[in-house]
Amino acid sequence: MDILGFDGQPKTATDLARRSERANLAWIVALTGLTGVLALILMRSGSITSQTHGPSPALLGWLIYLLGAAVILYRPRYGVYLIVFLTLAGDSVLAPWYPFAKNFSSQESLLFVDSALIISPLETFLVLTLLSWLGRGAMRRKLQFTTGVLFWPAIVFIAFITFGLAYGLGTGGIVNAGLWEARAIFYLLVMLVLTGNLVRTRAHVSQLLWAAMLALFVEGVAGSLYYVFELEMDLSRAESITEHAAAIHMNTLFVLAIAAWLYKASPTKRYGLPLLLPCVALTYLATQRRAAFVGLAVALILIAFALYHENRRAFGLIAPPLALLGLAYLAAFWNASGALGQPARAIKSVLVTDAASNRDYLSNIYRVVENINIGFTIRNAPLTGVGFGQKFYIIVPMPDISFFKWWEYITHNSILWIWMKAGAGGFLSMLMLIGLAISAGVRALWRMPPGDLRAAALTATIYLVMHFLYAYVDMSWDGRSMVYVGAMMGLINSLELIASRPVALPRKRWRWQPDPPLTPGLRPLPSEELGL
């Protein structure tokens, strides 16, 4: 039986076999080339053995890197899972040697190669996944490209970011600073495209979420061990034990664990996710990030709204007692110290400015002064911005944070920072992308059938809300966050298409068994139900 190819011409079994052989040959050649490159790198960098002539940890790192590259070439979708997992699992504060998001030029990295090699394993995996997906589609002459509602808004936003980079460097900006500022933002678009086109089934959605949740669990275990054994449970010995954005990422584990029960997701999620919570919760409290605690409070309020829409009777039974417990916690820990009092103190410092601790008070003052300087910079270049690679104007002296190399380039207010760097067009396109992503997430949430897909829609949407609330007060365009934001936007962008695809019924073991029920598909919107 002939099969029609991409060009409309019939393809015989021989043609398909030859095409499969060519694909396998290309895969083998690529893997062989990667092996040769890896061997040369190891020989030149002396990473095969340590000074004591024993196996070097770098060797294990390079083997994992090569194995990941081979997996990506074998199946590009696995590249999305690997990128999310390896990005979220590591933390430059907990493990300065962790190499995935650091350049091959970083001397503290396990995969250090040369000071001139200013690309990272993360970026090579992004490019390799993209090329593997496009290459397989080209060889099969069957490339399906899904744009969804977010692709073109993301393109417009990235176009303004590109303009900001070109304008900043073209007017004398520092190349190294400009690349450090802007490069991670491009990850967002790549992850949006890859996730939206490679995560195509309900099982793929669950696999992506598990990759993220297990990575957060790994970070939680590392953070708990550091807090208990290194700090001896004394938070005064460290300002924070993780990167600033790590706590916002951890919020998604809490949200998904609740959403799994709210929407009756698979038993694996309902019973498995709570097992991951203790270690992550301990690290989460030890991070001492006020924005994350406030973001989680907003997330719980949004979940309460979702519960009210889903089951008003359950809302009446669950929400009031939990609200009372929350108020009791605030009353009990309002003036408490220690890790357990962190969320209460965070909310207190937001509601009662004068009650902020000395650390939080100084942080607030710095942001107020910094916002004055941001406003002055924007007023001096409202249309074009100053561009990436250019310092912002400082008319009011700020407290010394010169330990942060880029303090004159990157500000805590990451929302206005885009306007300051990429101009009014960058700011407006960013707002458009964020607004469309959240509205698309809410639409997907109402249209998803109960179960895993609706839990995924709620988690992805609430994460975007939390992330951009956090962006108003802290640096949020870092590489780890952009990978996660891009993955969640890509997931939202494809959820309705995934849910609309029919799911094959499982085969009956015996003929006389009744047919299993059909898997629920997309639900109509309220306006569609009313015939509007």
Q: How do residues 480-503 score in pLDDT, each as one tens digit?
A: 999 999 999 999 999 999 998 877
The full length of the chain comes to 532
Tell me, yes or no, whether 289 and 305 share the same domain. yes
Burial grade of 331 (CB within 10 A; 0-12, 13-18, 19 or more): exposed
Tell me, yes or no, whether 136 and 256 share the same domain. no
Confidence (pTM): 0.88
Tell me, yes or no, whether 207 and 109 share the same domain. no
pLDDT at 417 > cutoff 90 = yes
Q: What is the 3-state secondary structure (H, E, C) of 231-250?
A: CCCCHHHCCCCCCCCHHHHH
Of 5-19, 379-393, 515-529, minimum mean pLDDT range: 5-19
**Across 247-252, average pLDDT:** 96
Domain span at residue 123? 12-143
Tell me, yes or no, whether 211 and 103 share the same domain. no
CA dihedral 457, 462, 467, 468 (to 10 degrees): 100
The confidence band for 295, taking pLDDT boundaries of 50, 70 and 90, is: very high
Q: Which residues contact 176 (CB under 8 A, 6 or more apart)?
A: none
pLDDT at 183 > cutoff 60 = yes
What are the tens digits of pLDDT across the range 318-361?
888 888 888 888 888 777 766 677 777 777 666 665 555 566 66
Tell me, yes or no, whether 130 and 240 share the same domain. no
Domains contained in the chain, number? 2
Amino acid in position 84: V
Asked if residue 383 lies in contact with residue 424, where contact means CB atoms within 8 angstroms, the answer is: yes
Q: Which residues contact 128 (CB under 8 A, 6 or more apart)?
A: 69, 72, 73, 79
What are the tens digits of pLDDT across the range 187-236?
999 999 999 999 999 999 999 999 999 999 999 999 999 988 888 888 77
In terms of Cα–Cα distance, which of 519, 501, 529, 525 is closest to 444? 525
Reading the block at residue 483, the tokens are: 């990978």
Asked if residue 406 lies in contact with residue 181, where contact means CB atoms within 8 angstroms, the answer is: yes
* CA pair distance 350, 453, nearest whole angstrom: 34
Of 143, 171, 189, which marks where a domain is finished? 143
Tell me, yes or no, whether 292 and 345 share the same domain. yes
Q: Could you tell me if residue 445 is inside a domain?
A: yes
Q: Could you tell me if residue 383 is inside a domain?
A: yes
Tell me, yes or no, whether 257 and 152 share the same domain. yes
* CA pair distance 384, 13, nearest whole angstrom: 57
Tell me, yes or no, whether 318 and 403 share the same domain. yes
Strand duo 10-11 + 3-4: pairing: antiparallel
Q: Could you tell me if residue 446 is inside a domain?
A: yes
Reading the block at residue 316, the tokens are: 């009446």
* CA pair distance 436, 77, nearest whole angstrom: 25
Tell me, yes or no, whether 66 and 157 share the same domain. no
Element of type H or E holding 371? helix 358-380
As beta bridge partners, residue 3 has 11
Q: Which residues contact 41 (CB under 8 A, 6 or more apart)?
A: 47, 62, 113
The confidence band for 34, taking pLDDT boundaries of 50, 70 and 90, is: low
Instruction: Determine the longest span between alpha carbons in the chain, in angstroms.
Output: 81
* CA pair distance 156, 188, nearest whole angstrom: 13
Tell me, yes or no, whether 387 and 419 share the same domain. yes
* CA pair distance 489, 464, nearest whole angstrom: 8
The confidence band for 2, taking pLDDT boundaries of 50, 70 and 90, is: very low
